[in-house]
A = this chain, B = another copy of it.
Amino acid sequence: MKVAKFGGTSVASAEQIKKVASIVAEDKERKIIVVSAPGKRSSDDTKVTDLLIQLGETLLKGEDTENELQAVLNRYEDIAEGLGLGKEIVATIEADLRERLQFDRNRPGACMDLIKASGEDNNAKLIAAYFQSIGLNATYLNPEDAGLFVSDEPGNAQVLPEAYEHLKALRDRDEIIVFPGFFGYSKEGSLVTFSRGGSDITGSILAAGVKADLYENFTDVDSVFAANPNIIDNPVKIKKMTYREMRELSYAGFSVFHDEALFPAFRNGIPVCVKNTNNPSSSGTMIIAEREYFMNPVIGIAADEGFATIYVRKYLMNREVGFGRKLLHILEDEGLSYEHMPSGIDDTSVILRQEQLTEEIEERVVARIQEELQVDDVYVERDFAMVMIVGEGMHNTIGISSRATAALTRANVNIEMINQGSSEVSLILGIHASDADRTVVELYHEFFGGAEETVQ
């Protein structure tokens, strides 16, 4: 069986939901359908989730919520109408929302979660109703009834191991299950949402729970691309990639997936397929455990900005057992997590995301390094970008780093840092943020210049 998740744009309107229905209808294996809240119908549209946040904030301010409530209901009315459903479903949704608005306002976190999550929850009810109306044997299933139990951390719920036990039972259901994404329930019965990209997480958890043969993630792009389409005109489509490649790329700014959403599927070895609701015949991108790579050692190029470097120099540093540990301990004390730590003989630099490094923290860290480590020199530089070249074959293919660095030379970009050797699937180049786009373009041409339309 397959678990299929449909993102916000895939369920934003009646027209879109009809596409979803035909996708579901055409493959009997698609037994569990996870849906998001209605997303944007056009670039200037507002997501239902954002309307719900406005509703929640008005409620928490203690102001009248009627207008905000109507704004939300209007979206569902449009959809229901377009799908030829009666007034009944909208009445159900209105009743549900009005009940949520009665929730204890002295628990703002839980209250906001409850209201936000209604976007997915009610959309699932509506879509289930539509499926039934066109003769599909479908039913809405509430996460609590399904036993999707999570930790009680509003906005950052973590699935509890026992949840998988409960979800396993869903394998035996005959009907198509329409399941709302984005939230679960604590053992105490309160609704708790996942972090951003939460519907991807729900789909991934369900796929793991029912041991699905495939987790289909329907979105509005044909596939994952080898580079950011905002920088490269119609970049190569990736046909097949590994979890590791996906993770390295999404770390470095690829936004297809919420970074950890894949984890449950990944840990259970369930393949993931990214597909386009608006072009379901396109094969999309398969994300799997292993792939052959001799044909194309490099699968994608990504860049992420906003990095800073703390540079430290001390004569005979490399003789001083414990220096690196003490240095990292200071950062840890200040709650800083670091990305890389290239080290020479008498110097080391720590590369970290600079949004962590407020002026105040920077001052304190620099002062502590000076005093506690008695260094000869310590300073901070900002506005670096990390460019990542990712591919399973990289580690065993001679010449990758030479091609990459040659490309940067052509682009007249100075390489501030090279990090190869830790990850077997990526080469990381540190450059000035202002050079990032130019670098990605040049690297793309180097590694995909001659490529046909798809890789792997």
Contact = CB atoms under 8 A, between A and B. Distances in A.
Interface in A246-278: 247-248, 251, 260, 263
A311 to B, nearest CB: 8
Given A248-B345, A328-B325, A345-B248, A416 B408 contact: no
How large, as a class, is the contact surface on chain A?
35 or more
Interface string A389-422: 0000000101101100110110011111111111
B349 A421 contact: yes
A311 B420 CA distance: 13
B344 A419 contact: yes
Contacts of A336: 321
A418 B421 contact: yes
Contact of A328 (B319, B324, B337): B324
Interface in A110-147: none
B325 A422 contact: no
Interface centre among A251, A349, A423 (most CB of B within 10 A): A423
A98 to B, nearest CB: 40
A64 to B, nearest CB: 42
A413 B398 contact: yes
A425 to B, nearest CB: 8
A343 B408 contact: no
Interface string A184-211: 0000000000000000000000000000
A75 to B, nearest CB: 36
A203 to B, nearest CB: 19
A291 interface: no
A348 interface: yes
Closest 6 pairs (CB-CB, A-B):
A344-B423, A417-B421, A402-B405, A325-B328, A344-B422, A399-B409
A224 interface: no
A171 interface: no
A378 to B, nearest CB: 13
A343 B430 CA distance: 13
Given A406-B406, A414-B398, A418-B401, A339 B343 contact: yes
A233 to B, nearest CB: 26
B338 A332 contact: no
A325 B329 contact: yes
Contacts of A315: 263
